């Protein structure tokens, strides 16, 4: 399960990975804005295709791409089906699915190109409120703790035949989810106490980012312009 979320094995060498994290974040926000603001689904699907193609470009092996691609397409398919059933409009459902697919692809590529601490440092550089950065940092850290705990619980249930039959499987799943909720509450109190005794004052420590090179500044300025031009050319109805 953790292989679906962790990008620690992703190669971080090459042209894209060497870009400054602020440049990559500006590019990611520009592509996400193009996906969300386009009035037809074509630009959003194009963004998803470019980002998914970027996974091959950075040298990510297929065994790591496959679970991510399966999760992304499955999430999009469910969203399209639910929206088509609720709104009775296939075009509206496809548009919503394209937006979700485009934005999720951007986040996936950004997460594989930049460690979380660099992304948070870039967000701090963009004057994002500290409380938001603190929440994101703690969620990123302890989401994997919960994933590991869930994996251990499921493994213990399997060896005790907890998933033999539908009724027993549902019962075991309910027990696992309840244990995770209780464990997350206990973990929250433990983390707060640990941060308090270590002198936490309301600001998470972070290393400053180095100066951006002229090439990074040029790429950061070019990305919004390219996305704006794509929106004007392809993103508007009747364009």
- Residue 223 has a pLDDT of 92
Task: Provide the token pair at 6.
Answer: 């962790």
- Taking only the tens place, the pLDDT of each residue in 103-137 is 989 988 888 888 888 888 899 899 888 888 888 88
Find, among 203, 139, 100, 129, the residue nearest to 5 by Cα: 139
For the question of whether the overall pTM of this predicted structure is more than 0.75, the answer is: yes
Find, among 40, 54, 70, the residue nearest to 11 by Cα: 54
Q: Domain segments of the chain: what residues?
A: 2-127+213-235, 130-197
Task: Provide the token pair at 57.
Answer: 């470009």
- Residue 234 has a pLDDT of 85
- Residue 11 has a pLDDT of 55
- Residue 52 has a pLDDT of 85
Cβ atoms of 25 and 110 within 8 Å: the answer is yes
- Residue 227 has a pLDDT of 92
Task: Provide the token pair at 2.
Answer: 């953790």
- Residue 3 has a pLDDT of 43
pLDDT score of 138 more than 60: yes
* CA distance readout (Å), 115 to 12, 25, 27, 39, 229: 9, 12, 16, 33, 30
Find, among 65, 76, 75, the residue nearest to 41 by Cα: 76
- Residue 1 has a pLDDT of 39
Cβ atoms of 20 and 209 within 8 Å: the answer is yes
- Taking only the tens place, the pLDDT of each residue in 144-197 is 888 888 899 999 989 988 888 888 889 998 999 899 989 888 888 888 888 888
pLDDT score of 217 more than 50: yes
Radius of gyration of the chain (CA): 21
- Residue 187 has a pLDDT of 85
- Taking only the tens place, the pLDDT of each residue in 43-88 is 999 999 998 888 888 777 777 778 878 888 888 888 888 888 887 7
- Residue 239 has a pLDDT of 53
Residue 76 phi/psi, 5-degree rounding, is: -65, -40
């Amino acid at each position: 399960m953790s292989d679906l979320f962790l990008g620690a094995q992703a190669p971080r060498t090459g042209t894209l990975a060497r870009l400054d994290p602020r440049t990559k974040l500006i590019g990611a926000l520009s592509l996400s804005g193009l996906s969300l603001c386009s009035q037809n689904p074509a630009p959003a699907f194009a963004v998803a295709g470019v980002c998914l193609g970027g996974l091959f470009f950075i040298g990510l092996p297929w065994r790591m791409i496959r679970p991510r691609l399966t999760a992304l397409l499955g999430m999009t398919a469910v969203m399209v089906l639910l929206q088509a059933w609720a709104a009775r409009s296939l075009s509206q459902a496809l548009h919503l699915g394209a937006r979700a697919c485009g934005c999720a692809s951007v986040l996936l590529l950004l997460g594989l190109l930049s460690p979380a601490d660099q992304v948070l440092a870039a967000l701090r550089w963009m004057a994002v409120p500290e409380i938001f950065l603190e929440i994101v940092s703690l969620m990123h850290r302890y989401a994997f703790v919960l994933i590991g705990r869930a994996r251990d619980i499921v493994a213990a249930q399997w060896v005790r035949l907890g998933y033999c039959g539908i009724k027993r499987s549902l019962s075991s799943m309910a027990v696992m989810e309840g244990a995770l909720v209780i464990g997350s509450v206990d973990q929250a109190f433990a983390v707060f106490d640990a941060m308090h005794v270590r002198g936490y004052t309301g600001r998470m420590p972070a290393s400053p980012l180095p100066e951006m090179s002229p090439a990074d500044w040029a790429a950061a300025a070019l990305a919004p312009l390219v996305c704006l031009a794509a929106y004007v050319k392809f993103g508007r109805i009747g364009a």
